[in-house]
Structure 1
Amino acid sequence: MKLTVIGYWGGYPKQNGASSGYLLEHEGFQLLIDCGSGVLSKLQNIIQPEELNAVIISHYHPDHIADIGVLQHARLILGFLGKEFPTLPVYGHEFDQHEFAKLTYKNITKGVAYKPTNTLKVGPFQISFLKTFHPVPCYAMRIEADGKAIVYTADSAFIEEFIEFSRGADLLLCECNFYGHQNGKPAGHMNSLDAGRFAQKAAVKQLILTHLPQYGNLNDLLTEASGEYTGIIKLADEFQTISL
C-alpha cells in the first residue's frame, strides 16, 4: 500500500494548503480518504479526478467533505469533454441523511452506505470501522491489504477502544489538533500527548500526526508526542508518501 498525504490541516486549510484528504493506492486501485477543502486542487498534482476508483468519508464536517461537490463537477465537465469513466462510488455513513444524499450526483457519483459494524471491501482493501468521540457521527478506519494495516483516526478525542482497534498497525494516521498543554476533548479532538500515548499503547510501527492546528510551532507537537512514543514519528506534510 502507498499512502500520499494530500491535505492535513484541521478545521480549514492554511494558506495554499488543504484540509483532510489522503490518497491510498494498491494494485492499481486509487482510494481517496476524505475530501476536504483544497483537496481536489492538490490531488491533481498526483492523479486526475477521473482516475479515482472510490472515495470514503469519515464524517460530514466541511474540512472532510468540502470538495465532494467540486470533485463531482470536475468529473461532470470531463465527461462533457468526451472522457468516459464509470460512476464513482463515494462511501459514507447514513447517520446524517441530508449529508449522505449529497454524495450522489446524477450518474457522476453514487453514495454507498457503509455499515460500521461490518467489514467493507473496497477494491483490494478490507476496511473496518470504530465510532469516534466527536460532536457528529464519525468513524475511524482500519484499512488492510496484503497483511499490512493503516489506521486513520479521523476526528476524535482519545477513547480506550482505539488501542485494540489499532493494535500492531503498520501506520497510525492520528489526528493531533491540539498541543500538549491544551484539552481537546470538549471539541472532540486529541492533543500531542494523547496521540503519543495512544501509539505507544497500541504498539504501532509508525505514527503520522495529522489534522494539525494552524497556529503555534508544529515541531512542538512532534517533540511532545515523541516523549510518549518511542517509534518512528513524523508530522504530516503535503505530498508526503508512506509505502508499506
Structure 2
Amino acid sequence: MRLTILGGDGGWPRPGGACSGYLVEHEGYSVLLDPGPGTFPRLTTLLPAAALDAVLVSHGHPDHVLDLNPLLRARAFADPGPPPLPVHAPEAALAPVLALDRAGVLDQAVYVRELLPGREVTLGPVTVRAAELPHTWLNLGLRISAAGATLVYTGDSGPSPALHELARNADVLLAEASHVDEVPPAMAGLLSTAGQRGDDAREAGVGRLVLTHLLPGEDASEARDRAAARFAGPVDVARPGLVVEVGAGRPQ
C-alpha cells in the first residue's frame, strides 16, 4: 500500500503549500483522505479526477474538505461523466462544502455515505475502521488496511487512549501535530504537539510516524526532533510529494 502526501499544512496553506490531503493506493485502487485546500491540483498531477475511486473525510473543518468542490466539479462537468464518487464522512461533515454550488449541480458526481465509529467499510481491496477521537467537531481517526499493511490517520485530535487502540501495531501512523511544543489553552485536549505524537507512536507500537497538520509558523525540523526524542522509530514530517510505502517492512 502506498501513501503519497498531497499536502500537510494545518489551518491554511503556506505559500506554495496545501492543507491536509493524502492519496492511498493499493492494487490499482485509489482513495483520497481529506481533500483540503490546495490538494486537488496536486492530485491531478498523479491521476485524473475521474480515476479516483473513493474519498474518506475525517471531519468537516474547511482545511480538510474544501477541495472536494473542485474534485466533484471536474467529475460533474466531464463528458462523459464518471460514476458517482463514493465519499465517506461523518454525519453533516460535507453539508457546507456541498452547498457551495447551486442545488443539483453535483448530484450525479457524488454518492455520500455516512462513516460511523466502530464500523468497518470495504473499499475495493482496502478495509477501513473508524474511531471517534477528541476534537472541536466530530472527528474520526481511520485505520486503513490492505494485504497485511496498515496505515492509521488521526484527522485532528487531542491525545486519547482510543488512538492507541486504533493504531496498535500499525505500520504507519499519520498524525496531526499542529504545534511543536504547546497547544494553546483554548485547544488543550483537542489538538496535539509533536512530542505527544511521539508518545502515541511509542505507546501504540507503530513502525513509522509521519507528523502532519503543522500550523504555519511551526518549525518542521523542531517537530521531528521532539517526536524522535520520544519514539525510537523513523519520524517524517508530511510535505507534498513525500511517498511512504506502507508495510514495506519495519526497520531492524
Structure 2 counterpart SS, 1:10: coil
Deviations 1:183-211 (A, max 9, x none): 25742211011000110111100000011
Mapping 1:188-203, distance limit 5 Å: 188-203=190-205
The match for 1:58 is 58
Mapping 1:145-224, distance limit 5 Å: 145-180=146-181, 182-183=182-183, 186-187=186-187, 188-224=190-226
When residues 225 and 97 of structure 1 are mapped into structure 2, their CA distance, relative to the original with a 3 A threshold, is closer
Q: Which moved more, 1:87-96 or 1:160-169?
A: 87-96
The match for 1:49 is 49
Deviation of 1:96 (Å): 5.0
CA distance in 1, matches of 2:112, 2:88: 6
CA distance in 2, matches of 1:47, 1:157: 33
CA distance in 2, matches of 1:96, 1:209: 24
When residues 100 and 39 of structure 1 are mapped into structure 2, their CA distance, relative to the original with a 3 A threshold, is closer
Mapping 1:1-244, distance limit 5 Å: 1-77=1-77, 79=78, 82-96=79-93, 98-99=95-96, 105-180=106-181, 182-183=182-183, 186-187=186-187, 188-244=190-246
Deviations 1:49-94 (A, max 9, x none): 11101111111000000111111111122x2xx3442111111111
The residue type equivalent to 2:225 in the other structure is T
Please say if residues 39 and 67 of structure 1, whose CA atoms lie closer than 8 Å, have aligned partners that are also in contact: yes
CA distance in 2, matches of 1:102, 1:204: 39
CA distance in 2, matches of 1:146, 1:7: 26
CA distance in 1, matches of 2:146, 2:215: 31
CA distance in 1, matches of 2:115, 2:127: 12
CA distance in 2, matches of 1:31, 1:198: 25
CA distance in 1, matches of 2:19, 2:50: 21
Runs of 4+ in structure 1 deviating by more than 6 angstroms, as ranges, are: none
Please say if residues 127 and 142 of structure 1, whose CA atoms lie closer than 8 Å, have aligned partners that are also in contact: yes
Please say if residues 121 and 127 of structure 2, whose CA atoms lie closer than 8 Å, have aligned partners that are also in contact: yes
RMSD of aligned residue pairs (Cα, Å): 1.8
Q: Which moved more, 1:145-154 or 1:215-224?
A: 215-224
Q: TM-score, normalised by structure 2?
A: 0.90
What percent of counterpart residues are identical? 30
Structure 2 counterpart SS, 1:17: coil
Gap regions ≥5 residues in structure 1: none
Structure 1 counterpart SS, 2:209: strand
Deviation of 1:102 (Å): 5.0
The residue type equivalent to 1:52 in the other structure is L
Q: TM-score, normalised by structure 1?
A: 0.93
When residues 9 and 97 of structure 1 are mapped into structure 2, their CA distance, relative to the original with a 3 A threshold, is closer
Give the number of aligned pairs. Answer: 240
Deviation of 1:113 (Å): 1.2
Gap regions ≥5 residues in structure 2: 247-252
The residue type equivalent to 1:196 in the other structure is G
Please say if residues 157 and 185 of structure 1, whose CA atoms lie closer than 8 Å, have aligned partners that are also in contact: no
